[in-house]
Amino acid sequence: MNNELWNSILKFDLDNPPSEYGFSTRLANENYWTNDFTAVAILEYKKFMYLAATSNFMVSPSEIVDTVWHQHLIFTQSYQEFCTLIGKQVQHIPSTHNKEDFDKFKQAKERTKKLYSESFGEQSNIFWEYSGMYESLNLKKATIKLRTFLVFGILVFIALILPSYSLLKPIYLQIHNPNFVLLFISLIIIVFIGLELINRYYIKKILLSSDSQSFIYKLEPYELVYLKTQKLTNVINGFVNELIDNKALKINADNTIRVVNTSKTKVKPKTITALATRKKTLLNTKEAIETIRVSKEIGKSFYPVLAKQLVNKPIYENVSNCMDAFKKYFNKSVKFGYLFYINFAVLASILLLGFIRLVMGISRDKPVTQIFITTVFLLIAIIYYLNRLTKLVCIQTLPEMYKKDILPTRDIENNWQWNYFLMGPAVLTTAFVPLVNYVENNNNNSSSNSSCGSSCGSSCGSSCSSCGGCGD
């Protein structure tokens, strides 16, 4: 192996020059990839390009590596500099899907695997066998969409009203109020508790059937924060708080935020401590760079203004985009579909029992207030519960897996980001909490952040205080 060449390839920064929508950010956003998956995909691309540079024969990328390659070809200057570095102009040769090409690319794929093994070890299935990030979940896509099923289910519910009425009427005549209502409410409670336990167990089982190297086991703290809370502002709050803790941003006496001149606080290499190292690492992250850039751009401002600017930045948008894409992919699977169908059928059956009782009471001119209220509340609870079920893998199952199964095996001591995921706002800087609360209250009241930021003055201040070939 040519270590000198490989080290040069490793050091090549595809994000140079840095920009708001640079190479890795664009790659992640356009493919709905997580930060870790994007970084490793780029590394695998560099390995492939090393093989292309050092081999006299055609080599073939995986679909994921090819995706990175296509992206790099668009960044023409960077790609030209990279080819100059490796000493070879690596041409992208698309497949024409004829027999000759098929045999050629098959041989190239086998050759690539052999060369890869000789230089880097065994290929990762995640990046060399799957066509996309989400395939590692091992989930087959359902043929029936949830919305289609819901429409069908509602029609079936309506069709069952008359036969159910005829079947249940003799039984219901033997049960008088308030006994029926009490029994009905008890049944509802038991059913919801039972479904919740079954849903949590089954969804975790689905996740555990994923590839052991799947991206879901390599999520970053802030991606989990978004999953758990479904709010991108909580992710931004965490990054801004870290920058305040590390003296990159400062909260002024009037509750405005400004950028601190960090050049004056640089630490000499010989005196770097663990804390200083973490600070240096933080300040070099794309999120920190973008946050500080935006802060400098808007100048001294109130936090709602800064938060509103950051929430639309690609580096932050990708957190929500890839996690939302994960939820959609999961919910469109056959396995989740079966679970949803069962929940709907059970809950609809319970609702049917109450609805028939209500119809009977009305037809017999009996008091129906209690059963009417109970049935209406049940309907609302069912709508809420089924909607929550589509989010359960995000807001409960995956975060709990990290808390109980994954993080205990990792060294996360003194890692603020993981503490933020585990404990939430409790770890935020004291002076920052009122500013966060103001943003939250402002959002809950559907108020405009810009109106606060532009007309705050002291009033807001006081409120805040509270390559080689490609076989496509």
Nearest 5°: CA angle at 135, between 132 and 136?
110
Q: Cα–Cα distance between 50 and 62 in angstroms, integer?
A: 15
Cα 77 from chain centroid? 32
Residues 199-239: pLDDT tens digits? 999 999 999 999 999 999 999 999 999 999 999 999 999 99
Residue 156 has pLDDT above 50, yes or no: yes
17 upstream amide cis, omega within 30 of 0: yes
Q: What is the pLDDT of residue 457?
A: 39
On whether the CB atoms of residues 134 and 64 are closer than 8 A, the answer is no
On whether the CB atoms of residues 322 and 223 are closer than 8 A, the answer is yes
On whether the CB atoms of residues 462 and 318 are closer than 8 A, the answer is no
Reported confidence tier of residue 436, pLDDT bands at 50, 70, 90: confident
Q: What is the pLDDT of residue 355?
A: 95
Instruction: Name the amino acid, one letter, at 106.
Output: K
On whether the CB atoms of residues 350 and 185 are closer than 8 A, the answer is no
Which residue's structure tokens are 């640079």?
Answer: 22
Reported confidence tier of residue 461, pLDDT bands at 50, 70, 90: very low
Per-residue DSSP letter, 407: G
Nearest alpha-carbon partner for 137 in 396, 317, 328: 328
Predicted TM-score (pTM) of the model is 0.85
* Residue/partner pairs of 307-310 with CB below 8 Å, 24 or more apart: 307/233, 307/236, 307/237, 307/240, 307/439, 307/449, 308/449, 308/450, 308/453, 310/236, 310/240
Least confident of 81-95, 108-122, 141-155: 81-95
Residues 380-412: pLDDT tens digits? 999 999 999 999 999 999 999 999 999 999 888
Residues 260-283: pLDDT tens digits? 875 544 444 544 565 556 666 777
Residue 36 has pLDDT above 70, yes or no: yes
Q: What is the pLDDT of residue 246?
A: 87
Q: What is the pLDDT of residue 104?
A: 74
Least confident of 6-10, 48-52, 442-446: 442-446
Q: What is the pLDDT of residue 16?
A: 87
Residue 163 has pLDDT above 60, yes or no: yes
Q: What is the pLDDT of residue 282?
A: 74
On whether the CB atoms of residues 252 and 435 are closer than 8 A, the answer is no
- Give the residue-averaged pLDDT of 366-381: 94
Least confident of 157-166, 285-294, 393-402: 285-294
Q: Cα–Cα distance between 357 and 409 in angstroms, integer?
A: 53
Hey, is 258 helix, strand or coil? strand
Residue 343 has pLDDT above 70, yes or no: yes
Hey, is 16 helix, strand or coil? coil
Q: What is the pLDDT of residue 184?
A: 95
Least confident of 53-62, 67-76, 441-450: 441-450
Residue 379 has pLDDT above 50, yes or no: yes
Q: In what order do the strands lie in the sheet with 256-259?
A: 249-251, 256-259, 301-302
Residues 82-106: pLDDT tens digits? 999 998 888 887 665 666 666 777 8
Number of neighbours of residue 417 by Cβ within 10 angstroms: 18
Beta bridge partner(s), residue 259: 249
Q: Cα–Cα distance between 226 and 38 in angstroms, integer?
A: 18
Residue 57 has pLDDT above 80, yes or no: yes
**Residue-range domain boundaries for the chain:** 3-131, 146-214+326-394, 231-319+426-465
Residue 47 has pLDDT above 80, yes or no: yes
- Give the residue-averaged pLDDT of 274-298: 79
Q: What is the pLDDT of residue 463?
A: 38
Residue 456 has pLDDT above 50, yes or no: no
Q: What b-and-e string marks burial along 292-303, b requiring 16 or more CB atoms within 10 Å of the CB?
A: bebbeeeeebbb
Least confident of 98-112, 159-173, 309-323, 407-421: 98-112
Which residues lie below 8 Å from residue 200, measured CB to CB, with a gap of 6+?
392, 396, 397
Q: What is the pLDDT of residue 136?
A: 95
Residue 454 has pLDDT above 60, yes or no: no
Q: Cα–Cα distance between 467 and 59 in angstroms, integer?
A: 8
Number of neighbours of residue 376 by Cβ within 10 angstroms: 12
* Mean of the per-residue pLDDT values of the chain: 87
On whether the CB atoms of residues 357 and 180 are closer than 8 A, the answer is yes
The H-or-E segment that residue 76 falls in is helix 76-86
Number of neighbours of residue 26 by Cβ within 10 angstroms: 19
Q: What is the pLDDT of residue 468?
A: 41
Token pair in block for residue 124: 């990762």
Nearest alpha-carbon partner for 266 in 246, 296, 245, 293: 246
Q: Cα–Cα distance between 229 and 421 in angstroms, integer?
A: 10
Q: What is the pLDDT of residue 472?
A: 38
Residue 72 has pLDDT above 80, yes or no: yes
Q: What is the pLDDT of residue 214?
A: 95
Nearest 5°: CA angle at 211, between 208 and 212?
80
Q: Percent of the chain having pLDDT more than 90?
A: 67
